[in-house]
């Protein structure tokens, strides 16, 4: 009889000093993603919150389509769209208090915009005129992180520092399903749990890491289950149900704020667009799958609830759409202006005081620019070798 077979009756004497640690049962996520919309719980949802979420979702969708259009016009170098994921993006922004911090990945410009950041500043990285277009401390939005999951330990450290200072600050860190395979995801969750840092991790499981589906990414029962190994609660939520995501994140943040430590939230959603405008999604997935998810669109789900409860009329829809169009028109107009570039900025912020070596290189570039302005010129001393 193997150990596995006799497990039921198997009661060994524990090794010296061994103590049972955390009971894993309360940390386990629900078997099915938590839903509010389309369930009885929806009736309890605050009408103002529903209307606000709806307005932001419509605005967010318009932001995504506008930014994608800007890539086609050459005004953005690249845009990783969050179309289909707006419920996660919007809920993440709305659930935070003023003093809280958001740690976005490169796909989360919408969350930053929904938090109040100027879209032009949010898109600076993707336009390519600088790396971060805003002061992170002013908005409490960390720079968009392109290296996957590397922003997660930053969120943990910031939350930890805030707690050490006695400040009421929670950090919300965003990551995708692919990012959960990175070492930094593991290290961040481990540090967060050990330190009981006031941080919440939101995994937007959108089905794909560029082309690689979740099945090739993990063998875990769900990404939310990973929380249990670190000793923190895992929550599984329908990522296209804005009300459910808002509620689950809100509870996790309240828990962190009260000193309860971190939570891992997995929101199950879908990346409707390709990875970026440079990607071709037809190489790795079929239209039928995309169509299934279009039917489960976050705006459609919320609109249905609003209509059922009589919270939205045609006039309301028109107002929301007009607001989104105004935002898009403003974004279009401002992004159609060429950014003002100063090549000398390349040297201005590498160090507080430029090194002697950088001062030399700065002088070199300045001389090259001056020479360029003077038109074609000879290289080297006059008359030598010519």
Partner 1 sequence: MTTVALKPATMAQALGRALRDAMAEDPAVHVMGEDVGTLGGVFRVTDGLAKEFGEDRCTDTPLAEAGILGTAVGMAMYGLRPVVEMQFDAFAYPAFEQLISHVARMRNRTRGAMPLPITIRVPYGGGIGGVEHHSDSSEAYYMATPGLHVVTPATVADAYGLLRASIASDDPVVFLEPKRLYWSKDSWNPDEPSVVEPIGRAVVRRPGRSATLITYGPSVPVCLEAAEAARAEGWDLEVVDLRSLVPFDDETVAASVRRTGRAVVVHESGGFGGPGGEIAARVTERCFHHLEAPVLRVAGFDIPYPPPMLERHHLPGVDRILDAVGRLQWEAES
Catalytic residues: 271, 275, 284
Matching residue, tokens 């009756």? 9
# residues contacting partner 1 (CB under 8 A): 43
Which residue, 131 or 318, has its beta carbon nearer to partner 1?
131
Binding of residue 142 to partner 1 (CB under 8 A): yes
Q: Which of residues 348-377 bind partner 1 (CB under 8 A)?
A: 348-353, 355-357
Q: Which of residues 160-189 bind partner 1 (CB under 8 A)?
A: 160-162, 164-165, 169, 171, 183-184, 187-188
Binding of residue 205 to partner 1 (CB under 8 A): no
CA torsion 345→347→352→353, rounded to 10°? Answer: -130
Which residue, 45 or 96, has its beta carbon nearer to partner 1?
96
* Distances, alpha carbon 96 to alpha carbons 107, 113, 137, 234, 308, in Å: 19, 13, 15, 19, 28
CB of 260 to partner 1, least distance (A): 19
Binding of residue 157 to partner 1 (CB under 8 A): yes
- Mind spelling out the 3-state secondary structure of 357-381? HHHHHHHHHHHHHHHHHCCCCCCCC
CB 344 within 8 A of CB 366: yes
Q: Where are the beta strands (DSSP E) in the chain?
A: 101-103, 171-176, 199-205, 208-209, 212-213, 234-238, 263-268
Q: What count of other Cβ atoms lies within 10 Å of the Cβ of residue 116?
A: 10
Binding of residue 343 to partner 1 (CB under 8 A): no
* Distances, alpha carbon 354 to alpha carbons 115, 361, 367, in Å: 35, 10, 18
CB of 181 to partner 1, least distance (A): 14
Binding of residue 244 to partner 1 (CB under 8 A): no
The correct pick among 130, 181, 218, 296 for binding partner 1 (CB under 8 A) is 130
Binding site for partner 1 (CB under 8 A): 130-132, 135-138, 142-143, 147, 150, 152-162, 164-165, 169, 171, 183-184, 187-188, 190-191, 194, 345, 348-353, 355-357
């Amino acid at each position: 009889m193997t150990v596995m077979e006799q497990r039921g009756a198997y009661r060994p004497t524990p090794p010296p000093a061994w103590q049972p640690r955390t009971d894993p049962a309360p940390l386990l996520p629900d078997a099915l993603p938590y839903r509010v919309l389309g369930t009885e719980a929806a009736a309890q949802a605050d009408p103002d919150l529903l209307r606000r979420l709806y307005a932001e979702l419509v605005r967010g969708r318009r932001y995504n389509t506008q930014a994608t259009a800007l890539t086609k016009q050459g005004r953005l170098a690249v845009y990783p769209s969050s179309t289909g994921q707006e419920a996660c993006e919007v809920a993440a922004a709305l659930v935070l208090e003023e003093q809280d911090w958001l740690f976005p990945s490169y796909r989360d410009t919408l969350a930053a915009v929904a938090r109040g950041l100027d879209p032009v500043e949010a898109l600076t990285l993707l336009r390519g005129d600088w790396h971060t277009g805003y002061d992170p401390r002013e908005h409490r939005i960390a720079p968009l992180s392109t290296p996957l999951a590397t922003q997660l330990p930053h969120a943990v450290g910031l939350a930890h520092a805030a707690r050490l200072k006695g400040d009421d600050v929670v950090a919300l860190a965003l990551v995708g399903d692919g990012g959960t395979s990175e070492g930094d995801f593991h290290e961040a969750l481990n540090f967060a749990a050990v330190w009981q840092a006031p941080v919440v991790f939101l995994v937007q499981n959108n089905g794909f890491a560029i082309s690689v589906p979740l099945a090739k990414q993990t063998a875990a029962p769900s990404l939310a289950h990973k929380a249990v190994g670190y000793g923190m609660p895992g929550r599984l939520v329908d990522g296209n149900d804005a009300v459910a995501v808002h509620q689950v994140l809100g509870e996790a943040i309240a828990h962190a704020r009260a000193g309860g430590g971190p939570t891992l939230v997995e929101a199950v959603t879908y990346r409707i667009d390709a990875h970026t405008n440079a990607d071709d999604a037809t190489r790795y997935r079929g239209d039928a799958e995309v169509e299934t998810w279009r039917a489960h669109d976050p705006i459609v789900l919320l609109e249905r609830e609003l209509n059922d409860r009589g919270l939205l009329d045609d006039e309301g829809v028109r107002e929301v759409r007009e607001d989104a169009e105004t935002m898009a028109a403003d974004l279009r107009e401002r992004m159609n202006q060429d950014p003002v570039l100063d090549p000398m900025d390349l040297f201005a912020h590498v160090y507080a005081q430029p090194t002697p070596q950088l001062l030399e290189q700065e002088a070199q570039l300045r001389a090259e620019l001056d020479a360029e302005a003077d038109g074609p010129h000879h290289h080297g001393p006059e008359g030598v070798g010519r």
